[in-house]
Structure 1
């Protein structure tokens, strides 16, 4: 892995991330999948070209394959290091795909996106985290569960909600708890308030955003652009249907009168299977098909990454280069 901070100068839609080896690639709000494809391809091709000018490659993986890590640069990140302690490692070493949907029938949107959590299996990118084979989707496992019990509630999937006020009450409660943890770490309220607000204190797979009024879905890994576009198209169609169709807990399915989602305990079992075994788990495939996904259209990168329980640096480098090749080939096909 290498420093990518200077790549933020390559395009105004690129931002720095927690550590030097990662960058965030954004797209502007769009109204259709063709528009999203066009802008995503344009940004990625620009950044890949800038990286290639001095021998670097972009790698579309959600976790580092080797044990290397990087230093946190931002003031917010340094505060998180003090609050989380060793629990910050998974947060700063994982990358994912974030999709924002315009807020409309918000309670329905929150509950639907919660129920779509097992779809992360469709774009899982790597079974390895920092050199160790963890699960089919190593990113989801470590990001949600390896920060310690005190912080799992800030990263794991939340239960369905009854209304927006109830969801916002949860956010406010987590914010106050995080502020108390910050005080324990010697961070005064002024410094905490400068870098943390209720909506950005939680990093759960589904978030309610106020500054950019959206419902944000954060479950998927970083993945090949074509696979992300396929996923987003199905999810966007389902979200749009919530304008006219209620989301109800019960038998899963997408009928004309309702969108059925499983009881939360069943959903958790499906997500656990999706993280551990991916779309190879029959229950996961059946559920995703019921929710309008076609697993046959997906080729998760994690399926192409094989190796021993622990990777050496040379193997990790080869696998990263293979993933970089796959990214460039995928973009060429889209373009």
Structure 2
């Protein structure tokens, strides 16, 4: 199975303040600008294993970190910037989204995630299993703070799902299981037309809308079906240290690969010789809420993940390493960003060393 990863990182200056980082992407072809100036995205080409993903991430991030150091900047692997960023939108698509959603887009401007692409196989099974694995976001949660307040273990996921407003809800929520990928496409087409109406009502021209949007990317749901790639995209987790993403892939890739041979059925969670069991959707929603709010501190969550053979003791989420407190001020946030940047640099060095030794 071919895999691909996208990871978003904040860019800060030597004091820990968010700053423009889009020129950093000139250092490597697999680094691309995000829609706000203080975010950059790192991508990988399709690779056939988690080890291959590790190699690609080490290569692009090592290059990007060198360029950042040369210009007194750092990359930060946190799901949110901790406090609110007023980083401006710097893309045509972002500008149109801001016109459509107004302040509703502020949540997206303050979130950074990891997206994993799995090569399409038996698509309905993959969609349903990855939906059921939404609580695995607890394994790599990286920021409990959003807008200076402690919201949840994954404040990014909490903000996306509960704070973005009614107009955004249908475009961002976890969808129920499906037996028919065509129904998934039909729902996307309906939302594409609905967003088009919203855009036209806010002064966006038909030409602008058609040029910047297509049905498969009008939603920011935790699971997306990508026809052009073609992949099933899992968008649940925060951005974090790349080694943690590789560990996550080592656990998830074998599970998703089993969908080639085993049906995915509602029942007892876990894998048997006959099927992959997933919880009823209502129970899954409760699990996801617990994963977002409490992470691995919830026995409900870690026992669920271990039912799929995931050893949760292998994970040490960055969100659990923050000091206790209900709020975080700007001065403390700057220090935490710089500490997270140092953790990233050490992590990439270790990953790069491991990859080099394998070669």
Secondary structure of 1:151's match?
A: helix
Residue 81 of structure 1 corresponds to which residue in structure 2? 98
Cα displacement (A) at 1:69: 2.1
Aligned length: 335
Cα displacement (A) at 1:144: 2.1
Residue 187 of structure 1 corresponds to which residue in structure 2? 204
Counterpart among 189, 192, 205 of residue 175 in structure 1: 192
Is 1:99 aligned to 2:129, yes or no? no
CA distance in 1, matches of 2:311, 2:137: 13
Counterpart among 288, 298, 305 of residue 288 in structure 1: 305
Is 1:160 aligned to 2:177, yes or no? yes
Secondary structure of 2:277's match?
A: strand
Q: Judge which range, 127-136 or 276-285, deviates more.
A: 127-136
CA distance in 1, matches of 2:223, 2:140: 17
Cα displacement (A) at 1:145: 2.3
Q: Name whichever structure is richer in strand by fraction.
A: 2
Residue 68 of structure 1 corresponds to which residue in structure 2? 85
CA distance in 2, matches of 1:321, 1:216: 30
**TM-score, normalisation: structure 2:** 0.92
Please report the RMSD computed on the Cα atoms of aligned residues, expressed in angstroms.
Answer: 1.0
Structure 1 segments, 4+ long, off by >4 Å, are none
For structure 1, the residue ranges without an aligned partner over 5 or more in a row are: none
Q: Judge which range, 273-282 or 182-191, deviates more.
A: 182-191
Cα displacement (A) at 1:120: 0.2
Is 1:123 aligned to 2:140, yes or no? yes
Aligned partners of 2:127 and 2:232 also within 8 Å: yes
CA distance in 2, matches of 1:310, 1:319: 13
Aligned partners of 1:66 and 1:129 also within 8 Å: yes
**TM-score, normalisation: structure 1:** 0.98
Aligned partners of 2:114 and 2:236 also within 8 Å: yes
Call closer, same or farther: CA 1:271–1:25 in 2, change over 3 Å. Answer: same
Cα displacement (A) at 1:210: 1.6
Cα displacement (A) at 1:310: 2.2
Cα displacement (A) at 1:307: 4.5
